[in-house]
Structure 1
Amino acid sequence: MIKRRTNVEIIALGFAIVILVGTFLLLLPVSSDHTDFLDALFTATSATCVTGLVVYDTATHWTLFGQIVILLLIQIGGLGFITIGVFLATYLKKKISLRQRGLIEESVNSLKLAGGVKLVKHIIKGTFLFEGIGAIILSLVFIEDFGLLKGIYLGIFHAISAFCNAGFDILGIIEPYGSLTPYASNIIVNITIMALIIIGGLGFIVWQDIYEKGFKFKKYLLQTKIVLIMTIILIVGGAVLFYLFECQNSLSSLSQEEKILASFFQSVTCRTAGFNTVDVSHLKPSTSLLMMFLMFVGGSPGSTAGGIKTTTFAVLTIFVYATMTNKSEANAFNRRFDSKTIKKACSVFLINFIFIFISAIALFDMQPQLPMQDVFFEIFSALGTVGISTGITRQLTMLSKIVIVLLMYCGRVGSLTLALSLSRKKKISNCKNPVEKIAIG
């Protein structure tokens, strides 16, 4: 008898299939002059998992066909193949089954089964609206520098990459592996990219809540309130600390206004997007640690972002505070977190920590010559599906690349899979083991 796959397994397997299809498309001669299997797999994984780590400069190595493949993988990975599949089914007037609605609920981290199809339609429409506006604004800038057709293409590519929090760029025609450093002082490019990253990283549930309730904060869902507050704290706090740490270092050659702009940009993008407007390889150790923390937290549930998510970090912080102040319950905005939510948050945090620990040991053993700071930065970037690198990606050996590929994949579906598996209904046993206390701390 064939075992029926769970929704969680379908989501994980679906991402793997998309990655493999993308890999074989990137191996075609029409995609590049020559790319071996592992590098094609690395690039396809990075694109599908909306990470942005690259072994080749996207603009100079890949042909137009290869770049379009990468862009499609980014779009599919950002929205999720379930979301796109359901939208196409509704467009073709196909009936959506109860099982498919369950897949929607789990793929976008919806809080309820009802209204899933409507949410998918809002997601698709909202995505193309924001990406379209972003593409138009960016195109106006790029057309001045590259001409009409090239400028429009650059605008579309970077708008999709930014909204999906992917971090891929094709500005290597100016400076290979330079990301957005040529536009570090361009206010329009910086603000547009930041806006797309933030909107894409808020989460689809938050979009719908704001859409339905307008700007009435008190009426928002608890998740929306936590996401918005945590997003503001992390962006502003990260920008202030980045400015203080790097004012006399990587930002020293910029004007005061450009320093502030660059600080906010790094704070926004290192949460999960992967673009950069300053040279990351010359950051101070304190700044690298700050960026690792922001990469670890990442964006919000049901979004295009990675990381343990803002809600996970908020729940853990509030729970620890409640424990330290001897409170019996963890509360936020006059609402109480249930034990299942706290267990999920603890599990997601621990599993990500284990991923980091195991991968660090593996990379240090395989390439002991690599600087420890750079290795940890690469690990946090891969697991958080961020994509910022100090430059060691191109120095990785075959086995090291496999480790990073697994990290990117786990970062996109690993923690989600764990959280969803914990949420399945379990059989409650009538018999329980006796309780015995142990010392903690």
Structure 2
Amino acid sequence: MVLPGLYTGPSLTWVDALFTATSAVCVTGLIVVDTATYFTTWGQAYVLLLIQLGGLGIVSFTSVIIAALGHRLSLRQEILTSRGANMVDEIDYHALTWAVVRFTFGAELVGAVLLYVFWVPEFGWTGAVWPSIFHTVSAFCNAGFSTFTTSLMGFQTNLPLLGVVMMLIVLGGLGFLTLEELNLWRHRRQKKGRFRLSVHSQIVLGTTAVLIVGGWVAFTAFEWHNTLAGMSLSERLVNGLFASITPRTAGFNTIDYAETTSGTNFLTIIFMVIGGSPGSTAGGIKTTTFALLGLLAWSRLQGRPTTSISARTIPEATLQKSTSLLVVALGIITVGIFLFSVLEVPGNGANAAFLTYMFEVVSAFNTVGLSMGATGELSDPGRLITVVLMFIGRVGTLTFVAAMARSPKHIKGGFRYAYEDVSIG
């Protein structure tokens, strides 16, 4: 980030260089300098390289982790299992990494061509090339970096272009395990064979659809007379849909989040915490964790001892992992908000400032990249805290999941202490 020829102005400080590199590799999208004006084309290409490597590395790593959950790996074929119950039993995990690479570059190629077609009328035959490539990779990797100062706010009325970006974000956030299983399902249907989608993919697809549609209705309603005012009906609907998709966890924006309503900001924070799906480039606690916790609460309210969906019972160990992941994530977010409250909120402690920095912490930890305008105003300690949050949110959570994926150890000495209950609630 400090090499000659990568920037146009004075060199970045080591803190800002670390911040930018971490944001790119962790596919977050938070920036302390304007990517559009500060970096040269070579500098933007370097940022894009970090995004692509970070995105591919994350997907490959998470796919291996998910494949290893609760089961020993064979040398030739790794079957995704959880305590003996097959989740996706027809995927060859030995070849999954190469499938990830092929699908990534294939999807990005198609996306770049489509964006190029929609940007040619505005930037010309040669001027549309680089923005198309950059935004395709950034969208598919859920990074949120843009070569435009105001992200995609200048293209609120270019509805086909926004549609392509949303498609790339969703594909990148679904997870390659689900995408590969959908591919198998398509081939089986063509051959008129039977194929049952795993519970994992059913939860991913169902939860993603509910979040997108529910968020679309809510965001559009909250911003109808605010940031969406002055647009046509179709433009309001498409931009409302974009606001529902981008918090999980792309980071592009077509509206100014410093001007959005409190309802929009709060819902955006919730969506940022949920994030995308396992085995994807997105961050957050993941759609499956959110869905399993909801199913767990519902089953307990009904007095059921087990949690079931689609005629299948979810293993208790998986439910415990989901609960643990949520507790750890909320704990880290809470610590981050506390540190920002002490270091960054003005002396008078304005409520507006607190919400701004809360938004910033959640966005950083869940590798979203959305901001209410606080990123560039952070002090060096605040920027270093953000770096740590981005790193932990991406790598730390995966490490935590990997640690939980190991088989439980036998009780030392062959005994346990006596049970004693504790009153709760």
* TM-score, normalization by structure 2: 0.88
Give the aligned partner of residue 211 of structure 2: 234
Give the aligned partner of residue 46 of structure 1: 23
Distance 2:267 2:205 in 1: 20
Give the aligned partner of residue 186 of structure 1: 158
Instruction: Pick from 410, 419, 424 the counterpart of residue 435 of structure 1.
Output: 419
Q: Which amino acid aligns with 2:301?
A: M
Instruction: Using the TM superposition, give the Cα deviation of residue 82 of structure 1 relative to its aligned residue in structure 2, in angstroms.
Output: 8.3
User: After superposition, where does 1:8-407 map in structure 2 within 5 Å?
Assistant: 26-32=1-7, 33=9, 34-80=11-57, 83=60, 115-171=92-148, 176=149, 178-214=150-186, 219-369=196-346, 371-407=353-389
Q: Which amino acid aligns with 1:317?
A: G
SS in 1 for 2:264: helix
Residues 165 and 201, structure 1, Cα contact 8 Å, conserved in 2: yes
Instruction: Using the TM superposition, give the Cα deviation of residue 150 of structure 1 relative to its aligned residue in structure 2, in angstroms.
Output: 2.4
Distance 1:112 1:352 in 2: 30
Residues 285 and 373, structure 1, Cα contact 8 Å, conserved in 2: no
Q: What whole-Å deviation, never above 9, does each CA across 1:331-389 have from its counterpart, x for those lacking one?
A: 11111111111111011101110111101110110112270111111111111111011
Q: Which amino acid aligns with 1:394?
A: G
Residues 76 and 94, structure 2, Cα contact 8 Å, conserved in 1: no
Distance 1:100 1:282 in 2: 54
Distance 1:53 1:309 in 2: 20
Residue 421 (1) aligns with residue 403 (2): yes
Q: Which runs of 5+ in 1 are unaligned?
A: 1-25, 87-96
SS in 1 for 2:94: helix
Distance 1:270 1:82 in 2: 19
Aligned residues: 395
Distance 1:192 1:46 in 2: 24
Q: Which amino acid aligns with 1:46?
A: S
Distance 1:113 1:428 in 2: 31
* TM-score, normalization by structure 1: 0.85
Q: Which amino acid aligns with 2:205?
A: L
Instruction: Using the TM superposition, give the Cα deviation of residue 42 of structure 1 relative to its aligned residue in structure 2, in angstroms.
Output: 0.6
Residues 101 and 113, structure 1, Cα contact 8 Å, conserved in 2: no
Distance 1:53 1:435 in 2: 48
Runs of 4+ in structure 1 off by over 3 angstroms are 81-84, 97-102, 110-114, 215-218
Q: Which amino acid aligns with 1:192?
A: V
Most deviating of 146-155 and 43-52: 146-155
Distance 1:246 1:81 in 2: 34
Most deviating of 310-319 and 243-252: 243-252
Give the aligned partner of residue 391 of structure 2: 409
SS in 1 for 2:278: coil
Residues 91 and 181, structure 2, Cα contact 8 Å, conserved in 1: no
Distance 1:331 1:100 in 2: 32
SS in 2 for 1:147: helix
Distance 1:100 1:387 in 2: 39
Distance 1:151 1:427 in 2: 56
Most deviating of 408-417 and 159-168: 408-417
Q: Which runs of 5+ in 2 are unaligned?
A: 64-72, 82-86
Most deviating of 387-396 and 363-372: 363-372
Distance 1:136 1:180 in 2: 18
SS in 2 for 1:336: strand
Give the aligned partner of residue 9 of structure 1: none
Distance 1:225 1:82 in 2: 20
Most deviating of 241-250 and 145-154: 145-154
Instruction: Let me know the Cα RMSD of the aligned residues.
Output: 2.3
Residues 31 and 66, structure 1, Cα contact 8 Å, conserved in 2: yes
Distance 2:75 2:342 in 1: 45
Give the aligned partner of residue 66 of structure 2: none
Residues 347 and 419, structure 1, Cα contact 8 Å, conserved in 2: no
